[in-house]
Structure 1
Amino acid sequence: MKIGLKSWAGAMAGAALLGAVSVVPAHAGATAEGQFETYISGWRVGNESRRWWDNNDTWDYTGIYFSGCVSDGGSGFNHASLQLWKDISSAPDRSKGTRSNYCGWVDYGDPDDRGNYYFALTDIYSGTFLSVDYVKVAW
């Protein structure tokens, strides 16, 4: 009888520990308001991403992640300048900053402003065309 109780108590403690460990990562990732994944093929300076709506329901930063970056320059891909814009329908679009992406993650902070957003390629350091195998935008 004691062995059964010890086994049951051990199983319950293990289940509680597993539940506590698995809740933390799920909760941490659930705070982002939105995201999408895509790729870039043969972009030139001036090309723009698709638009996305940010309700500004969270205080999360807006970020852009690149992986698998290639440019046609002789020295290969170094970095790309990306400008985040808020799309304004009846006025000029509003810049939310420019960041250099070295084929990784860049943050623009919390735009603190609901609306449609997009990013544009403003410069490629080494080359005239940019391709990126994997792009993730999160806000």
Structure 2
Amino acid sequence: MATAAVVAAMLGAEAAHAEGSFNTTISRWLTGKESRHWTDKNLDSTATTVKFSGCSTSSTSFRSATLQLKRKRENLPDPVLDRHDNTCNTSNFGRQGSGSYYFNLSRINGSDSGLHLNVNSVTVTY
């Protein structure tokens, strides 16, 4: 009986997990740099989030990194779906439909050039 309860709890917990996620780091990114691409099959209701931890810049104190969520389109420009100023926390881009996505770095501390971004831990959930 206890085993059945544990299995049921595990199955319930599994259903609450996101469709996908990955962890990475950012080292000396300039503005314009893209993350790796991922495919969201829209199998759940999980929002797309990008979590930063341990942020720094090359020559000044870190204040924010402006991230743009983009959807990959073949033979067409990739549209910017949303833009967030990440202050070394979590950017929530909401639930996205089926497709291939990535984020790019458009500004560091409000500037579009001259700084490098470093982030010790990046978690993308979709």
Same fold (TM over 0.5): yes
What is residue 42 of structure 2 aligned with on the other side?
A: 56
Residue of structure 1 in register with 2:118 after alignment:
131
**2: CA distance, partners of 1:105 / 1:33:** 18
Q: CA RMSD for the aligned pairs?
A: 2.4
- Structure 2 residue 2 is matched with structure 1 residue 31: no
1:73 aligns with 2:59: yes
TM-score, normalising length: structure 1: 0.77
Q: Which runs of 5+ in 2 are unaligned?
A: none
Give the fraction of aligned pairs with identical amino acids, expressed as a percent: 36
1:45 positional shift = 0.6
Q: Which has the higher helix share?
A: 1
Q: Which runs of 5+ in 1 are unaligned?
A: 1-11
Q: Aligned equivalents of 1:130 and 1:29: distance in 2? A: 35
Do the aligned residues in 1 keep the contact of 2:28 with 2:58 (CA within 8 Å)? no
Partner of 1:8: none
Determine which structure has greater relative contact order: mean sequence separation of CA pairs < 8 Å that are 6+ residues apart, divided by chain length.
Answer: 2
Runs of 4+ deviating beyond 6 Å: none
Structure (1 or 2) with the larger CA radius of gyration: 1
Please tell me the residue identity of whatever aligns with 2:79. R
> 1:93 Cα deviation (Å)?
0.7
The aligned counterpart of 1:82 is 67
- TM-score normalized by structure 2? 0.85
Looking at structure 1, the residues matched to 86 and 79 of structure 2 have their Cα atoms a distance apart, in angstroms, of 20
1:23 positional shift: 2.4
